[in-house]
């Protein structure tokens, strides 16, 4: 199928949402669709898209309903003869909807990548009456999205995240290099998480769990925490790029490591672009988030055949089968984390079985080719 799609993702961040939305645009382009993206100039989104051959455009203003931006979107739609407009960043739906308000020829879609508060007020009802469809990656969230958004149930579509499994192979060279850099000794297990340093992500729950291992077991394992605090949407010159409460949370985490003299056992790496390399270095993946809609990084870890230990909450319950492709622990319970990790440490065969089952789940439910096929079918449906 061909056609022209205009995608809006003007987020200033570069996390799972932005990376996935950008990847989806690239995959659509590979499928034969002409793809134009609206993003912020000099952003990481733009760099990724341009590197992968996607044409990028900018807006004169990134407010919700700026007249010049609405006019620019109309101009882009006309210039490129766009068939479909797809919004990936929630704020962009305002300008896109306003631009298409009197244009019934084109279709407008919105992808929802994270949990939302109810949007049934008069302003959202006005904006969303122009939206032709909403995509969600979580089966559970899809089933109740019509109660949160002013949009009919039949216009809400479950679209599973897509992954190219051939990308997810352990890089032994990077595994060794990263483990050496982290000071992992022969015979030690590297247990890690890859999340934003944010109170809701439960990173301290994971860090504190180290104290519940006996000394003998502590000597056999090392923790690595890969990620940075949540970034602000707008940063003034000279100020920190991070949200204050998340930066304070990082300081709390660093203070804990210092007070407990765990610098040799718990390593903070900050954000890392090479997530495949760091996942290659791990033996066990921990996902401590206290309430996640449906986690991309969990899928990545599963695709890498890592056994997963996750908080028993949110969309993770739909991703992991307890005792088959991973294990659950009680939310925010550091002692339970240690207990479940102790089991994994002592059971290498179970780790291997769970990792194999995890990859099979991704192969069956999250193949990128199937995701693109489903997306195009909705795009082109009457």
Both 193 and 260 in a single domain? yes
Burial of 236 (0-12, 13-18, 19+ CB in 10 A): exposed
**Beta strand pairing status for 34-38 and 4-8?**
parallel
Both 25 and 116 in a single domain? yes
Both 217 and 352 in a single domain? yes
* Backbone φ, ψ for residue 40 (5° rounding): -85, 145
Q: Which two tokens stand for residue 330?
A: 């009680």
Both 361 and 371 in a single domain? no
CA 327 to chain centre: 21
Per-residue pLDDT of the chain (382 residues; tens, 9 = 90+): 579 999 999 998 888 899 999 999 999 999 999 999 999 999 999 999 999 999 999 999 999 999 999 999 999 999 999 999 999 999 999 999 999 999 999 999 999 998 778 888 999 999 999 999 999 999 999 999 999 999 999 999 999 999 999 999 999 999 999 999 999 999 999 999 999 999 999 999 999 999 999 999 999 999 999 999 988 877 888 899 999 999 999 999 999 999 999 999 999 999 999 999 999 999 999 999 998 889 999 999 999 999 999 999 999 999 999 999 999 999 999 999 999 999 999 999 999 999 999 999 999 999 999 999 999 999 999 6
Both 103 and 177 in a single domain? no
Both 360 and 374 in a single domain? no
Number of domains in the chain: 2
Both 97 and 125 in a single domain? yes
Domain limits at 153? 4-162+367-380
Both 191 and 140 in a single domain? no
Q: Could you tell me the CATH number of the domain that includes residue 334?
A: 3.40.50.2000
Both 371 and 330 in a single domain? no
Both 349 and 375 in a single domain? no
Both 130 and 170 in a single domain? no
Give the closest residue to 333 by CA, choosing from 274, 284, 303, 288. 288
Cβ neighbours of 348 (radius 10 Å) = 12
- The shares of helix, strand and coil residues in the chain, as percent rounded to the nearest 5, are 45, 15, 35
Q: Are 336 and 322 in contact (CB under 8 A)?
A: no
Q: Are 46 and 67 in contact (CB under 8 A)?
A: no
Cβ neighbours of 276 (radius 10 Å) = 17
């Amino acid at each position: 199928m061909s056609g022209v799609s205009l995608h809006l993702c003007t987020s200033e961040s570069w996390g799972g949402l932005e990376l996935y939305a950008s990847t989806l645009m690239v995959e659509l382009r590979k499928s034969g669709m002409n793809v134009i993206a609206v993003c912020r100039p000099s952003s990481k989104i733009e760099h990724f898209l341009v590197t992968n051959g996607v044409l990028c455009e900018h807006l004169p203003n990134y407010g919700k309903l700026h007249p010049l931006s609405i006019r620019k979107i109309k101009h882009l739609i006309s210039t490129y003869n766009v068939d479909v407009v797809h919004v990936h960043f929630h704020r962009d739906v305002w300008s896109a909807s306003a631009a298409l308000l009197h244009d019934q020829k084109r279709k407008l879609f919105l992808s929802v990548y994270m949990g939302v508060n109810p949007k049934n007020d008069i302003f959202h009802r006005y904006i969303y009456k122009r939206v032709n469809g909403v995509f969600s990656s979580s089966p559970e969230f899809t089933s109740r999205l019509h109660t949160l958004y002013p949009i009919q149930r039949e216009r809400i579509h479950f679209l599973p995240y897509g992954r190219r499994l051939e990308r997810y192979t352990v890089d032994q060279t990077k595994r060794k290099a990263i483990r050496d850099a982290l000071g992992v000794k022969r015979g030690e297990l590297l247990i890690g998480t890859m999340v934003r340093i944010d109170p809701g992500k439960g990173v301290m729950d994971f860090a504190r769990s180290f104290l519940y291992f006996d000394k003998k077991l502590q000597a056999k394992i090392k923790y690595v925490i890969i990620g940075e605090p949540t970034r602000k949407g707008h940063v003034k010159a000279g100020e920190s790029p991070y949200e204050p409460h998340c930066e304070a949370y990082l300081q709390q985490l660093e203070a804990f490591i210092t007070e407990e003299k765990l610098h040799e056992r718990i390593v903070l790496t900050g954000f890392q672009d090479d997530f495949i390399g760091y996942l290659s270095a791990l033996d066990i993946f921990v996902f401590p988030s206290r309430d996640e809609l449906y986690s991309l990084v969990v899928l990545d870890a599963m695709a890498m055949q890592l056994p997963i230990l996750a908080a028993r909450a949110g969309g993770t319950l739909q991703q992991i089968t307890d005792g088959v492709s991973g294990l659950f622990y009680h939310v925010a319970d550091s002692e339970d984390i240690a207990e479940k990790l102790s089991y994994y440490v002592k059971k290498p065969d179970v780790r291997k079985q769970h990792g194999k089952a995890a990859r099979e789940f991704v192969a069956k439910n999250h193949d990128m080719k199937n995701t693109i096929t489903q997306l195009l079918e909705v795009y082109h449906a009457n």
